[in-house]
Amino acid sequence: MNIKIYRANVKNIKYCSPIIYFEKYKDIFGSCLFTGDGINDISEYTFIGIFPHTIISYDGDKLIFQNEQGVKKEKGFWENLSKVLTQTNFDEFNYPASLCGGMGYLSYEILQNIENLTKTTVDSYELIPFNWIFFNVYYVFDHLNKKAYQIDIEYESKSKIIKKTNIYNGYNVKNIQSECTREEYMEKVEKIRDYIFRGYVYEVNLTQQINGSFFGDAYSLFKKLFSINNAPFSAYINLEDTKIISNSPELFLRCKGKEVETRPIKGTIKRGRTEEIDKENIELLINSKKDQAELYMIIDLMRNDLGKVSEIGSVKVINPKRLETYKNVHHLVGIVIGKLKESCDYFDLLKAAFPGGSITGCPKVIAMEIIDEMEKYTRNLYTGSIFMMNKEFFISNIVIRSAIIKNNKIFVNSGGAITIDSIPEEEYNESIIKIKNIINSMKQE
């Protein structure tokens, strides 16, 4: 299927709130929003894609290529994705068209295409593990220069995938329940600490799932959540009977040409009720040996992952511990950079680094085996990644602080890193703090 571009028609539009601008497209099948607020080196752009030209998905066995003319399937996951990437030519056009590309996601379950691991978790909902959508129309909001653009793409072959989606106003969430009680979660923390004591692993990211009944407009929930916390790597995707809401603060991978960076988050503390308490909490976080150990272990893991596909000597830690502040929490963040080998593309990078170390643990493979043992439900998109990609530009998040809405149900996961110094009750409390914004957003106004 041909996704080569013949022409990109760019026009200036009035710079405004992307959240409000997207409202008129929220009910269009396939529409995507990738947005957020943050300091200048985090939230440079918002991307919107509407009217799918081609959708590339994965059924667990074959890649599925769909456009207006029909569907075809091919074996070979990573090699075929790399082949498609080489065919993209957004980079041949001037800014801002050069930033556009396929928008989509990788589920955490794509790890099965990287490591040969046994899966025993239960699927609480069904989700296609990979989706990559190329659009007929893009919108780019340049937040540094306060400019916005509409880019109408003319592909060499015409296609426009149209499907009807339901239109709702408002929303209602009921019957919220957790996978674990406090005591059950704390017991899992103790089991992981025992694995650490016995030398199997250094750190494991443990999570639990919360679900409930959902009725109404998923984008209304996204807007309310974003108004509470305008996280820098937020996203909304409309996939007919599945709606994806992400309020993620975490950058996974960002690339311009061959330059790569990753920014793992490890270490979280809630905001104080007063300025004085808030300063005390910051000091506690910055001086916490446990949180620093969590962060440094994952930085080292990410250095190793980037090193698999980067030029020798190019991988560097440029900031080992940066404080980032959000409306409800403070985080510690590391910044690692590298330069991709000439022979490697962005899917080679994803294969080397996925799933992100900050949401698995260290060593990664053993940590993922323990995750499968400890967690009841399949993570699906949670701790996967939402991304925008062409062959010269790539940006992706870690899907945390997020919700999946499917068949009148809502699914939310939360957790944290367990280390030798973890206190079970504190770990449980941290898992609840991290999704406080989502829980508050679910409540009726």
Q: How many residues does the chain have?
A: 445
What is d(CA 90, CA 54) in angstroms, rounded to the nearest whole number? 15
Q: What is each CA distance from 318 to 5, 41, 263, 338, in whole angstroms?
A: 37, 13, 10, 10
Crossing angle of helices 364-374 and 182-197, in 10° steps, is 150
Choosing from 266, 339, 391, 434, the catalytic residue is 266
User: Which spans in 145-215 are helix H?
Assistant: 182-197
User: Which spans in 26-110 are helix H?
Assistant: 77-87
Q: Active-site residue 266, yes or no? A: yes
Q: Are 106 and 385 in contact (CB under 8 A)?
A: yes
What is d(CA 52, CA 159) in angstroms, rounded to the nearest whole number? 8
CA 55 from centroid of its chain's CA atoms? 19
Q: Active-site residue 250, yes or no? A: yes
User: Which spans in 145-259 are helix H?
Assistant: 182-197, 218-228
Q: Spell out a b/e string for 289-307, using b for 16 or more CB atoms within 10 Å of the CB, else e.
A: ebbbbbbbbbbbbbbbbbb
Choosing from 109, 203, 250, 294, the catalytic residue is 250
Q: Sort residue 313 into left (φ over 0), alpha (ψ -120 to 50) or beta.
A: left
Active-site residue list:
250, 266
